[in-house]
């Protein structure tokens, strides 16, 4: 527990993100979505947290995927990504790990995220996972997790903490650096990384070595021409969309959609 998420909070350099874009990017998709979405209250120890849930349009029960945000918290972009996940057949549930905090700039987001108690983050993820599996009647009992930037590192770390996970999708988050951080992983981990992101990419070889030695499945893919944060900055709706990131975002989504179909 003490080592959970150690070293995961670091500086993220994301070009072209301003206060209004952090708060509002993705709202158009949410407003136009035909899918049902809810805000739910989840009991996490003595606290109650909020989570955003989007349901797919399908006639049978569906897998659920936990969504762990960037350092900016539960923004409209993260919620719009939940809607896109639901469009692809899964129940997306994103806990508000930042307890409703709103950030006007990158520095404020960094400071708030680095101040999050590691035990609290794990407890909130545990509570959300339990909610998805026991409180959502349309969930079929299969649980995955995804995360971005800070959340990508959290995702890889949490895969070592929750044996109920069937898949983990880590997007440009730092990877584990010691055997104890991978020994309990019970699901495949799929990595999505940017070519122009050496800070994060430098952690991949060690993780590959550790996962292989532990007999675990780890499949990292490096997207050429992309920079850190390409799932956000590659969205066509982003006014500052970067072409290399857009190509990587499209390729990553194509791969991810295939993987999502493999969830039991």
Contact between 86 and 54 under an 8 Å Cβ cutoff? The reply is yes
The per-residue pLDDT for range 40-79, each reduced to its tens digit, is 999 999 999 999 999 999 999 999 999 999 999 999 999 9
pLDDT at residue 238, as a whole number? 74
- Rounded alpha-carbon distances, angstroms, from residue 218 to 27, 95, 256: 34, 25, 14
Alpha-carbon gap, residue 45 to 100, rounded angstroms: 18
Q: How far apart are CA 218 and CA 82, in angstroms?
A: 24
User: Is pLDDT above 50 for 205?
Assistant: yes
Contact 174, 206 (CB under 8 A): no
Instruction: Please provide the DSSP assignment of 224-256 as one string.
Output: EEEETTHHHHT-TTSTT--HHHHHHHHHHHHHH
Per-domain residue ranges of the chain: 19-261
Mean per-residue pLDDT over the chain, rounded: 91
Note the pLDDT tens digit of each residue in 134-152: 999 999 999 999 999 999 9
Closest CA to 259 of 77, 89, 26: 89
| H/E element, 165 | strand 165-171
Q: H or E stretch including 223?
A: strand 218-227
What strands, in cross-sheet order, belong to the sheet with 91-95? Answer: 37-44, 47-54, 91-95, 62-68, 139-148, 165-171, 189-196, 218-227
pTM of the model: 0.91
- Provide the terminal-to-terminal Cα distance of the chain, rounded to the nearest Å: 29
pLDDT band at 14 (very low <50, low <70, confident <90, very high): very low
C-beta separation of 143 from 128 below 8 A:
no
Instruction: Write down the architecture of domain 19-261 according to CATH.
Output: 3-Layer(aba) Sandwich (3.40)
Q: Which residue has the tokens 């299969």?
A: 142
Of the candidate ranges 19-33, 107-121, 176-190, 246-260, the one whose mean pLDDT is the lowest? 19-33
């Amino acid at each position: 527990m003490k080592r959970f998420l150690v070293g995961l909070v670091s500086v993220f350099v994301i070009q072209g993100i301003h206060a209004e874009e952090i708060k509002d990017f993705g709202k158009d998709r949410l407003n136009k979505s035909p899918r049902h979405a809810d805000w739910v209250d989840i009991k996490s120890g003595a606290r109650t947290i909020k989570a955003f849930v989007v349901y797919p349009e399908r006639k049978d029960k569906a897998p659920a995927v936990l969504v762990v945000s960037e350092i900016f918290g539960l923004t409209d972009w993260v919620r719009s990504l939940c809607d896109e996940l639901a469009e692809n057949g899964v129940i997306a549930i994103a806990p508000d790990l930042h307890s409703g905090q709103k950030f006007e700039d990158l520095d404020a987001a960094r400071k708030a995220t680095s101040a999050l108690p590691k035990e609290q983050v794990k407890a909130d993820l545990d509570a959300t996972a339990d909610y998805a599996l026991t409180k959502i009647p349309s969930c079929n009992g299969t649980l995955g997790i995804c995360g971005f930037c800070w959340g990508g590192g959290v995702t890889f770390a949490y895969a070592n903490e929750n044996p109920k996970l069937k898949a983990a999708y880590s997007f440009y988050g730092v990877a584990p650096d010691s055997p104890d951080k991978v020994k309990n992983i019970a699901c495949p981990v799929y990595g999505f990384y940017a070519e122009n992101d050496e800070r994060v990419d430098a952690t991949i070889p060690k993780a590959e070595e550790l996962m292989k030695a532990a007999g675990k499945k780890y499949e990292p893919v490096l997207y050429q021409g992309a920079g850190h944060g390409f799932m956000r900055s590659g969205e066509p709706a982003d006014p500052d969309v970067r072409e290399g990131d857009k190509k990587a975002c499209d390729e990553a989504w194509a791969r991810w959609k295939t993987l999502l179909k493999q969830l039991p």
